[in-house]
Amino acid sequence: MAKDVRFVLLGLGNMGRNLLDVLADRHQAVLDEFGLNLILVGAVDSRGAAINPNGLDMASIRDMKLAGQSVSACPGAGRDGMSALEMVQATHFDMLVDASPTDLTDGEPGMSCVRHALGQGAHVIMANKGPLVLAFQELTELAQSKGISLLYSGTVAGGLPTVNIGVRDMAGSHVTRVEGIFNGTTNYILCRMAEEQISYQEALLGAQEAGIAEPDPTLDVDGWDAANKLVIIANSVLQQPTKLDDLSVTGIRGVTLDDFAEAEVRGEVIKLLAIAQETDDGYKLTVEPTSVAKDHPMGQTKRWDMGVVYYTDWMGIISAVIEEKGPVPTSAAVLRDMINAYH
């Protein structure tokens, strides 16, 4: 017997739209393999919402967004100007998927919707990092008290199951150190600098031309995106209550070809590493350009890669790398969480 799972989707930018793409392709497989009938009952973008308790057509909404329309133009279901919270409050659902943009001041519009959903006992799947970075303890405790799932395996290093490996697969062992390449854009830039012997500025421009870096690349190149992800790892895997202020963060703007040349002499290469190192006083958390051996698991990463290394007491050293040539794996990670909330 298939189980109907009514879900609402916040945010229809790249990530939300890609999720609809993945779902349009994999809906039947998820039904066959896991017995879950995923039904989109509400969706919202910055201009309005669409609601249909019987299910919105996911492929149509994706196509509307590709055509530059708001979801609120959806025939019969559109609600022009309706906010995310209004949509969430007006809809009955089993699961909320938050793919709205990451905001680090108050986490809105995701934060209020996530609180509302958890309060109602609905599962929550996060692709948006903001609420987790700002209120990890509050949200996880709320989820726990309601006995429901708050999953966010797509928030750290795209589709790489960084969180899952740390939380589930290290269960029972103790993690002494974490090293991660959690931001794809900076790894792309640093790889091009190393491979093509071009300056930071040239490599950044190349990344922008390739659509990999934003016109304003601050969040990536100054290390804040990686830092947000390290905050999530510190809170979840390392269980150390952590805010962004607890981290020391240095970006890659100051990395020069001379730095690469010096590293090369030692058989090393420069990577932007997020590091958690256990000390007598808890884990020390840093994001900074770091020289690592070329045969180190993170030193081996190429321009489309992100990765993580977990050092443990009893379970050896476990590293994982994802090669993703676009943002779709993050949306596939959201689907994985949607399934794992029930399995």
Chain residues in the site for its own copies (CB under 8 A)? 22, 25-26, 29-30, 33-34, 153, 158-161, 164-165, 168-174, 239, 295, 297, 300, 302, 312-325, 328-329, 331-333, 335-336, 338-340, 343
Q: Judged by CB, which is closer to its own copies: 113, or 298?
A: 298
CB of 204 to its own copies, least distance (A): 24
Q: Judged by CB, which is closer to its own copies: 286, or 319?
A: 319
| Cis peptide bond upstream of 109, omega within 30 | yes
CB of 278 to its own copies, least distance (A): 14
Beta-strand relationship, 3-10 and 95-98? parallel
Rounded CA gap, 152 and 160, in Å?
Answer: 11
Could you say which of 65, 129, 146, 229 is catalytic?
229
Q: Is 243 a catalytic residue?
A: no
Rounded CA gap, 27 and 30, in Å?
Answer: 5
Between CA 303 and CA 235, with CA 22 as vertex, the angle to 5 degrees is: 65
Largest pairwise CA distance in the chain: 65
CB of 307 to its own copies, least distance (A): 9
Q: Judged by CB, which is closer to its own copies: 28, or 199?
A: 28
161: buried, middle or exposed (CB in 10 Å: 19+, 13-18, 0-12)?
buried
CB of 298 to its own copies, least distance (A): 12
Q: Which of 234, 318, 252 is nearest to 291 (CA)?
A: 252
CB of 285 to its own copies, least distance (A): 20
Beta-strand relationship, 282-293 and 248-249? parallel
Q: What Cα–Cα distance (Å) separates residue 228 from each residue in 143, 146, 262, 287?
A: 21, 26, 30, 10
Q: Are residues 235 and 134 in contact, defined by beta-carbon separation less than 8 angstroms? A: no
Rounded CA gap, 150 and 191, in Å?
Answer: 35
Q: Judged by CB, which is closer to its own copies: 58, or 82?
A: 58
Between CA 91 and CA 96, with CA 92 as vertex, the angle to 5 degrees is: 85
Q: Judged by CB, which is closer to its own copies: 49, or 306?
A: 306
CB of 79 to its own copies, least distance (A): 29
Beta-strand relationship, 317-323 and 36-45? unpaired
Q: Judged by CB, which is closer to its own copies: 59, or 165?
A: 165
Task: Give the total residue count for the chain.
Answer: 343
Residues that are catalytic: 229
